[in-house]
């Protein structure tokens, strides 16, 4: 420990959809301490999801203080701070007072569906796809900013006179940590806004025009690994610490999983489920509903990824726990699911906020199929758990088509990967190896790596790749016919759910 104290540590702030976390890592990439705080979810109308950005800021200060004190680490032992965040969630605040003008609109929220319909009617789909690698869906930040400017009284005028700033959560936190000095974001977060040209690496005037967003609101786009600013001393740090890494949480996880080579992919089971495949310096365009996105930019080199986005994964388990009260903890789902040999044909389609890849249907609702008098809680829980794997299977299928690359093994991380039942079922469904690393906090680790690289704490990608350690491989054991039968049932269930529009 004395040696470690000497070398210092790197702090990762992981601001996610349901909680804020601070994790301190040492040079070996081991976790020294971790603190977590849930944040409040606001559901003002069905399908709408909002956060209080001020509460997020306070929760971040809280978890950082607690991670430091738990490990008895003086703030001056922190060599760099890396930030990773729930992506797309849009905050607009007043640059003079630092106060948000409204709740942040969360990535899951469907409240800009009308704006999206209008954009489609105006025929902007192709323009957006061509420049941003994304498609028109309430998921991305651009329409959320427009919504805020349209709905908050006086906001548009204030934005036009340069008084308002926009940021995703990373920008918001760096701005707060730096005492309002730095208004920045990184390539990976910028690539999720609908306003950024991922090929020219610039905010795009045409897109800004289409969405009516004044350029003066936008953060400066920087690389994912460099010193952007220092913390102000009056925060609990008592010292200026460099903020040196930023990446959206899914890109950070790809980095933390050391997926540095073309064709390497990871799947993160968080609130949602996001599979990203590194495509190197080439931006691969999808014809099957995958997103083309920036993985990171380091030292003037930008790398791209193909992404499949599943909106509901861990949140389906929370729904079983909090909404239906079928579970005490999400982890209990494993025991319930294992008590029955199958769901006996029950399928849960958790389309609570529509569905992303490959369906992109933003107004569908969730559904349950195949109930009989013999259906039990165990079947129901198992079917919900299996829906995480089915959705990931749908994503991997189109990823194989679009990339032309056959997956060797899928690296997994996120809370639900501790669920052995789910991991085995996932491997069975994919017919591919599922590889679980020793450190499954890869999102935070990725942010720590990006920050540590910028200040010379780690030497380079090779050292990081060498540090990636496999904990367990799940190998496919299900007969081909069985896999196909189960998956065909799922496909039918999704089609039926899509056909039902209340
Ligand atoms: O795109 C949304 C994603 O970044 C949210 O991640 O981990 O909060 O579910 P998570």
| pLDDT tens-digit series, residues 364-422 | 999 999 999 999 999 999 999 999 999 999 999 999 888 887 777 899 999 899 999 99
CA distance 429 to 390: 7
pLDDT at 236: 61
Token couple for 113: 């569906």
Query: Residue 50 pLDDT > 70, yes or no?
Result: yes
pLDDT at 2: 57
Confidence label for 4 from pLDDT (cuts 50, 70 and 90): low
pLDDT at 443: 94
Instruction: Give yes or no for residue 107 CB within 6 A of ligand 1.
Output: yes
Instruction: Give yes or no for residue 272 CB within 6 A of ligand 1.
Output: yes
Instruction: Give yes or no for residue 224 CB within 6 A of ligand 1.
Output: no
Query: Residue 3 pLDDT > 80, yes or no?
Result: no
pLDDT at 290: 93
**Residues recorded for the chain:** 502
Specify the DSSP element, H or E, that contains 306. strand 301-310
Q: What pLDDT digit, counting tens, does each position of 275-305 carry? A: 999 999 999 998 889 999 999 999 989 999 9
Candidate of 169, 270, 441 to mutate for ligand 1, largest count of ligand atoms within 8 Å of Cβ: 270
| Ligand 1 centroid distance, CA of 18 (Å) | 9
CA-88 nearest atom, ligand 1: 1
Instruction: Give yes or no for residue 16 CB within 6 A of ligand 1.
Output: yes
DSSP H helical ranges for 203-281: 205-211, 249-256
CA distance 375 to 343: 8
Above pLDDT 90, what percent of the chain?
87
pLDDT at 75: 86
DSSP 8-class letter at 221: E
Confidence label for 73 from pLDDT (cuts 50, 70 and 90): confident
Radius of gyration of the chain (CA): 22
CA distance 199 to 196: 9
**Predicted structure pTM score:** 0.93
| Ligand 1 centroid distance, CA of 271 (Å) | 6
pLDDT at 498: 95
Give phi and psi for 429, each to the nearest 5.
Answer: -70, -40
| Ligand 1 centroid distance, CA of 304 (Å) | 18
Query: Residue 5 pLDDT > 90, yes or no?
Result: no
Instruction: Tell me what the pLDDT averaged over the chain comes to.
Output: 93
Instruction: Give yes or no for residue 257 CB within 6 A of ligand 1.
Output: no
Instruction: Give yes or no for residue 271 CB within 6 A of ligand 1.
Output: yes
Token couple for 174: 């760096």
| Ligand 1 centroid distance, CA of 14 (Å) | 10
CA distance 189 to 194: 10
Instruction: Give yes or no for residue 249 CB within 6 A of ligand 1.
Output: yes
Token couple for 327: 């579970």
CA angle 500, 330, 106 (to 5 degrees): 60
Q: What pLDDT digit, counting tens, does each position of 218-266 carry? A: 999 999 999 999 998 777 667 889 999 999 999 999 999 999 999 899 9
CA-based diameter of the chain, in Å? Answer: 64
CA distance 16 to 268: 13
ipTM of this complex prediction, to 2 decimal places: 0.94
**Is residue 248 within 8 Å of residue 221, measured between CB atoms?**
no
**Is residue 495 within 8 Å of residue 364, measured between CB atoms?**
no
Q: What pLDDT digit, counting tens, does each position of 129-178 carry? A: 999 999 999 999 999 999 999 999 999 999 999 999 999 999 999 999 99
**430: exposed, middle or buried (C-beta count within 10 Å: 0-12, 13-18, 19+)?**
buried
Q: What is the mean pLDDT of residues 116-123?
A: 95
CA distance 321 to 318: 5
């Amino acid at each position: 420990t004395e040696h470690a104290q000497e070398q210092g540590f790197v702090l990762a702030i992981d601001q996610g959809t349901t909680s804020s976390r601070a994790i301190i890592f040492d040079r070996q990439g081991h976790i020294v301490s971790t603190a977590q705080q849930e944040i409040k979810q606001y559901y003002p109308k069905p399908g709408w999801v909002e956060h209080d950005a001020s509460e997020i800021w306070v929760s971040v200060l809280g978890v950082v203080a607690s991670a430091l004190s738990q490990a008895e680490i003086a703030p001056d032992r922190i060599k760099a701070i890396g930030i990773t965040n729930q992506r797309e969630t849009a905050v607009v605040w007043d640059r003079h007072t630092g106060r948000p003008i409204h709740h942040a609109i969360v990535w899951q929220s469907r409240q800009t569906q009308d704006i999206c319909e209008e954009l489609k009617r105006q025929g902007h789909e192709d323009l957006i796809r061509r420049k941003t690698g994304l498609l028109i869906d309430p998921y991305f930040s651009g329409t959320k900013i427009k919504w805020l400017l349209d709905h908050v009284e006086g906001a548009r005028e204030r934005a036009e006179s340069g008084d308002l700033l926009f940021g995703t959560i990373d920008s918001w936190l760096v701005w707060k940590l730096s005492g309002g000095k730095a208004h920045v974001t990184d390539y990976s977060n910028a690539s999720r806004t609908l306003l950024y040209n991922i090929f020219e690496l610039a905010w795009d005037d045409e897109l800004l025009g289409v969405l009516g967003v004044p350029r003066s609101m936008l953060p400066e786009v920087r690389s994912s690994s460099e010193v952007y600013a220092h913390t102000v001393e009056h925060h609990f740090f008592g010292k200026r610490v460099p903020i040196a890494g930023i990446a959206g949480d899914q890109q950070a996880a790809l980095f933390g999983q050391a997926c540095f080579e073309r064709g390497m992919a990871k799947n993160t089971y968080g609130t949602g489920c996001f599979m990203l495949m590194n495509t190197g310096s080439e931006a691969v365009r999808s014809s099957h509903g995958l997103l083309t996105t920036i993985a990171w930019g380091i030292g003037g080199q930008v790398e791209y990824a193909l992404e499949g986005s599943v909106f509901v994964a861990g949140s389906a388990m929370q729904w079983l726990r909090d909404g239906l009260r079928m579970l005490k903890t999400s982890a209990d789902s494993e025991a319930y699911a294992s008590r029955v040999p199958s769901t006996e044909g029950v399928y849960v389609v958790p389309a609570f906020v529509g569905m992303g890849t490959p369906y992109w249907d933003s107004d569908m609702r969730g559904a349950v199929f195949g109930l009989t008098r013999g259906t039990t809680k165990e079947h129901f829980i198992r079917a919900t758990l299996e829906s995480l794997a089915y959705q990931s299977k749908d994503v991997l299928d189109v990823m194989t088509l679009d990339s032309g690359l056959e997956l060797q093994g899928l690296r997994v991380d996120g809370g639900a990967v501790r669920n052995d039942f789910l991991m085995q079922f996932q491997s069975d469904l994919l017919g591919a190896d599922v590889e679980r690393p020793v450190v499954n906090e890869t999102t935070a680790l990725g942010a720590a790596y990006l920050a540590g690289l910028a200040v010379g704490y780690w030497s380079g990608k090779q050292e990081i790749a060498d540090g990636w350690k496999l904990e367990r491989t799940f190998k496919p054991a299900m007969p081909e016919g069985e896999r196909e039968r189960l998956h065909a049932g799922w496909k039918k269930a999704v089609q039926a759910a899509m056909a039902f529009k209340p």
